[in-house]
Amino acid sequence: MILNTLSMTMIFIGALSVLLAMWGGISSFALYKKWRKPLTPEEKTSLEDRSYLVLLIMVVVLMIRLINWPLFYGTLQSFISDIEGAMCIFGVTQVKPGLTRFLEFLKPLNFFLIGGWLILHVLDRATKTSPLMRRKLFLLSIISLLVLIDSLGDIFLILGIAPESLVSCCTTVTDISNRPTRTMPLSIFGPEYIYSLQVLFFTTHIALIGFVGLSLTFGKTFLRQRLILGLLILFSFLNAILFLLSQIEIFAPAMMHLPFHHCLYCLWQYVPDSIAMYLLFIMGTFSVGWGFTTELFGRVGEAVDLLPNYLKKIYSFAFFSLSASLILLILHLMVD
């Protein structure tokens, strides 16, 4: 184990999350089952009190888990100097490649689910009768399970990364000519794939901003159409894939001034403000998804009246974040 402030924080947060996620997950599932049964007013009050306590504690845990995603990369970054052969986060990920890759997939999923759940919680809190309580408790029990897996993964990873491990770094993996991020667009667009990919990314990104803007302009009636919001989330997913491909193949090398190097971890290291661009992009893309999940789960009882206003806020945030990330990218490319 490599001991530093960040690794200690990760272990501490991980251990705390394991305990509270287990307790929170079991409690919320038990409460979810009880919530359905007919109860006396005293029992109902007791159940509500218990539910609010569980929710209060779990909200704090989930907020910490939101921070855990960037903290995870911060911790891996802090290990670089202790791993032989690592020059960026990629090298550190090679010490425990399987577990690290698993966590790298799980963390964004958890971030999305937690964010979506917190929005539902805020929506429910704005009502007087808590119509979303049962759904919230059920979803919380699922999220708790994922948080538990994530936290255990964090602990095992941090404990398992031995100092002075010997690894190869990104250059010998991300820059080989048969990397999938090159061969896939090459097979679709041909040798001029760089130009096509660039045009396609800008088109889809601007179109996504446009669609989100349209949904805001058309207001309540548009936002209530679940199918349209579902299509929007699919489109934002497609845009995210194109963003990733074009970043690896085109924009990251350009921003780093290293035309043949395609490592995104190196980009974050050499051009730190690109992290802000990524953060805005992630928040924008996830907000589109959060809009959909809020519509999907939040359409119950009293919450129905509040929903359009909440959706408008979520999609406004998506609009701002996606626009800001695009502007940052364009300005970077122009200045560089």
Closest CB 49 distance from other proteins, rounded Å: 36
User: Could you tell me which of 77, 98, 70 has the C-alpha nearest to residue 282?
Assistant: 70
Q: How many residues bind other proteins (CB under 8 A)?
A: 39
Q: Judged by CB under 8 A, does residue 187 bind other proteins?
A: no
171 vs 181 by CB, closer to other proteins = 171
Give 68 or 325: the residue with its C-beta nearer to other proteins: 325
Q: Closer to other proteins at the Cβ: 101 or 257?
A: 257
Instruction: State which of residues 87, 99, 118, 296 lies at the interface with other proteins (CB under 8 A).
Output: 87
84 contributes a contact to other proteins by CB under 8 A: yes
CB of 259 to other proteins, least distance (A): 8
Give the chain as a 3 state SS string: CCCCHHHHHHHHHHHHHHHHHHHHHHHHHHHHHHHHCCCCHHHHHHHHHHHHHHHHHHHHHHHHHHHHHHHHHHHHHHCHHHCECCCCHHHHHCCCHHHHHHHHHHHHHHHHHHHHHHHHHHHHHCCCCCCCHHHHHHHHHHHHHHHHHHHHHHHHHHHHCCCCCECCCCHHHHCCCCCHHHHHHHHHHCCCHHHHHHHHHHHHHHHHHHHHHHHHHCHHHHHCCHHHHHHHHHHHHHHHHHHHHHHHHHHHHHHHCCCCCCCHHHHHHHCCCHHHHHHHHHHHHHHHHHHHHHHHHHCCCCHHHHHHHHHHHHHHHHHHHHHHHHHHHHHHHHHC
Could you tell me which stretch among 15-23, 59-67, 85-93, 244-252 binds other proteins (CB under 8 A)?
Answer: 85-93
Choose the stretch contacting other proteins; rule: CB under 8 A; options: 7-15, 20-28, 206-214, 254-262.
254-262
207 lies in the site for other proteins, by CB under 8 A:
no
Candidate list 54, 59, 137, 266; residue touching other proteins; CB under 8 A: 266
| 259 lies in the site for other proteins, by CB under 8 A | yes
Closer CB to other proteins, residue 227 or residue 335? 335
By the rule CB under 8 A, 206 interacts with other proteins: no
Q: Does 324 bind other proteins (CB under 8 A)?
A: yes
Span 125-184, contacts to other proteins by CB under 8 A: 166, 168-172, 175
Nearer to other proteins, 223 or 263 (CB): 263
In contact, 188 and 138? CB cutoff 8 Å: no
**What Cα–Cα distance (Å) separates residue 300 from each residue in 290, 295, 297, 307, 325?**
17, 10, 8, 10, 34
Put residue 294 in one of left, alpha, beta given phi > 0 → left and psi -120 to 50 → alpha: alpha
326 touches other proteins (CB under 8 A): no
Minimum Å distance from CB 23 to other proteins? Answer: 38
Residue 19 CB, nearest approach to other proteins (Å): 37
Comparison of 49 and 84: residue with beta carbon closer to other proteins: 84
331 binds other proteins per the rule CB under 8 A: yes
Window 17-76: residues binding other proteins (CB under 8 A): none
Q: What is the binding site for other proteins (CB under 8 A)?
A: 84-87, 91, 166, 168-172, 175, 256-261, 263, 266, 269-274, 276-277, 280, 316, 320, 323-324, 327-328, 331-332, 335-336
